[in-house]
């Protein structure tokens, strides 16, 4: 493969209920969808006794209060103003796997919840989950990873993919890292069966033999299906936990808080309160949500640009040989 053209890879679909491999014919601009093979997933159900006890408590008005003890997860819940109702929903989802009531599940069971097969990319995500490094996922860790990855923007997800394979933290990806990244994101299926160096040279706009993050974003812009699995993972996490509509409302609240904070910085005071704002605050209070979201606490959880391992130096071109 000596060159890449706009028809070599299709565009990423917005959302799919089940994953498909989409191929585009260079001669005919038509899409052909082929069903992807998904490994069988065995999902456990909570015991009948446990469901009966929960329903009885709700009937008697004895709602269970969910306590978060891990500092990182606790800060995330506070920053996003999650309600007890939302935490109880996450707890019920957690218990669909934790049927022995041990309070833990392993990483494989976590991805069973999401109907996602394990890949090198999802293995990198595990570093966000197992906070205490004991090899199991506790409820606090489960909440923490949701509050992190589900709040990522498109650029954050791309940055996460980039950082996963920028092993020496040089803010650039060489040929070996680039090859590993493309294979890992697509579960071992290389997207460029020809010459990787040819692909690398096409994306390397400054001709330094490396892919920096801006060039990395250009890859996604031209061939968005390459990193579709990383975006699908976020979709599945949202869909199988609080639901897409709830996560959408959380993102809307965060964006509203950003605009409010920006107005305060610019004008030194709160903006005039409209009737719509008053109605929103009243609705939020009725669901037990606080008015203020901690934007600083949310933003510090985002993937950031790491400092190069050796200041002022980047990888040499010899690493490409």
pLDDT at 131: 52
Cα–chain center distance at 181: 17
Q: In the predicted model, is pLDDT for residue 18 greater than 50?
A: no
Higher pLDDT: 216 or 134? It is: 216
Tens digits of residue pLDDT in 145-195: 888 889 999 899 989 888 877 777 788 887 777 777 666 666 555 555 455
Nearest CA to 242 out of 83, 109, 70, 121 is that of 83
Least confident of 209-218, 227-236, 250-259, 274-283: 274-283
- Alpha carbon distance 167, 289 (integer Å): 40
Tens digits of residue pLDDT in 291-303: 678 888 888 888 7
Place of tokens 């130096």: 313
Backbone φ and ψ of 91, nearest 5°: -65, -40
Q: Count how many domains the chain has.
A: 1
In a domain, 315, yes or no: no
In a domain, 106, yes or no: yes
pLDDT at 130: 56
Backbone φ and ψ of 211, nearest 5°: -110, 115
Mean pLDDT over the full length of the chain: 70
Q: In the predicted model, is pLDDT for residue 44 greater than 50?
A: no
Backbone φ and ψ of 16, nearest 5°: -130, 140
CB 308 within 8 Å of CB 314: yes
In a domain, 37, yes or no: no
Q: In the predicted model, is pLDDT for residue 246 greater than 90?
A: yes
pLDDT at 62: 58
Least confident of 66-75, 111-120, 246-255: 111-120
- Sequence-ordered list of residues with C-beta below 8 angstroms from that of 286, at least 6 positions apart, any chain: none
- Alpha carbon distance 294, 202 (integer Å): 41
Percentage of the residues of the chain whose pLDDT score is greater than 70: 57
Higher pLDDT: 197 or 300? It is: 300
Token pair listed for 176: 């070996």
Count of residues making up the chain: 321
CB-hemisphere CA count at 13 Å for 265? 6
Looking at residue 76, which CATH number applies to its domain?
1.10.238.10
Token pair listed for 257: 């808080």
Where would I find the beta strands (DSSP E) of the chain?
Answer: 20-24, 31-35, 104-105, 137-138
Q: Which domain holds residue 112?
A: 50-149
pLDDT at 247: 93
In a domain, 221, yes or no: no
In a domain, 100, yes or no: yes
Nearest CA to 181 out of 266, 119, 116 is that of 119
In a domain, 90, yes or no: yes
Percentage of the residues of the chain whose pLDDT score is greater than 90: 6
Higher pLDDT: 230 or 273? It is: 230
Residue ranges of the alpha helices (H) in 11-137?
Answer: 48-59, 71-80, 84-95, 107-113, 120-129
In a domain, 4, yes or no: no
pLDDT at 99: 64
pLDDT at 7: 42
In a domain, 185, yes or no: no
Q: In the predicted model, is pLDDT for residue 306 greater than 50?
A: no
Token pair listed for 280: 């929103």
Q: In the predicted model, is pLDDT for residue 64 greater than 70?
A: yes
Tens digits of residue pLDDT in 71-129: 888 988 988 888 888 998 998 888 877 766 777 887 777 777 777 777 766 776 666 56
pLDDT at 135: 67
Q: Which contacts qualify for 100-109: CB closer than 8 Å, 24 or more apart?
A: 101/50, 103/138, 103/139, 104/136, 104/137, 104/138, 105/136, 105/137, 105/142, 106/135, 106/136, 106/137, 107/135, 107/137, 109/137
Overall average pLDDT of the 300-308 stretch:
63
Facing residues of 33 across strands?
Answer: 22
């Amino acid at each position: 493969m000596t060159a890449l053209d706009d028809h070599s890879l299709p565009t990423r679909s917005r959302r799919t209920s089940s994953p498909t491999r989409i191929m585009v014919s260079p001669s005919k601009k038509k899409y052909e969808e082929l069903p992807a093979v998904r490994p069988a997933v065995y999902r456990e159900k909570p015991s009948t006794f446990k469901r009966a006890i929960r329903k009885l408590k709700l009937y008697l008005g004895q709602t269970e209060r969910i306590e978060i003890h891990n500092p990182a997860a606790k800060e995330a819940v506070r920053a996003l103003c999650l309600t007890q109702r939302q935490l109880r929903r996450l707890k019920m989802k957690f218990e669909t796997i934790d049927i022995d009531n041990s309070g833990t599940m392993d990483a494989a069971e976590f991805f069973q919840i999401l109907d996602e097969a394990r890949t090198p990319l999802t293995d990198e995500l595990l570093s966000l989950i197992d906070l205490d490094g004991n090899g199991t996922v506790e409820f606090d860790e489960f909440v923490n990873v949701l509050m992190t990855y589900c709040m990522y923007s498109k650029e954050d997800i791309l940055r996460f993919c980039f950082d996963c394979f920028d092993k020496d933290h040089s803010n650039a990806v060489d040929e070996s890292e680039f090859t590993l990244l493309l294979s890992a994101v697509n579960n071992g299926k290389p997207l460029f069966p020809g010459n990787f160096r040819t692909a690398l040279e096409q994306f390397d706009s400054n001709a330094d033999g490396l892919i920096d993050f801006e060039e990395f974003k250009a890859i996604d812009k031209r061939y968005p299906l390459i990193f579709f699995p990383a975006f699908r993972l976020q979709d599945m996490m949202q869909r199988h936990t609080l639901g897409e509509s709830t996560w959408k409302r959380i993102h809307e609240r965060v964006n509203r808080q950003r605009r409010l904070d920006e107005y305060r910085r610019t004008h030194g005071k709160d903006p005039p309160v409209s009737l719509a704002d008053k109605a929103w605050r009243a609705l939020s209070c009725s669901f037990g949500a606080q008015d203020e979201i901690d934007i600083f606490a949310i933003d510090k959880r985002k993937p950031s640009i790491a400092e190069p391992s050796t200041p002022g130096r980047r990888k040499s071109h010899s690493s490409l040989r």
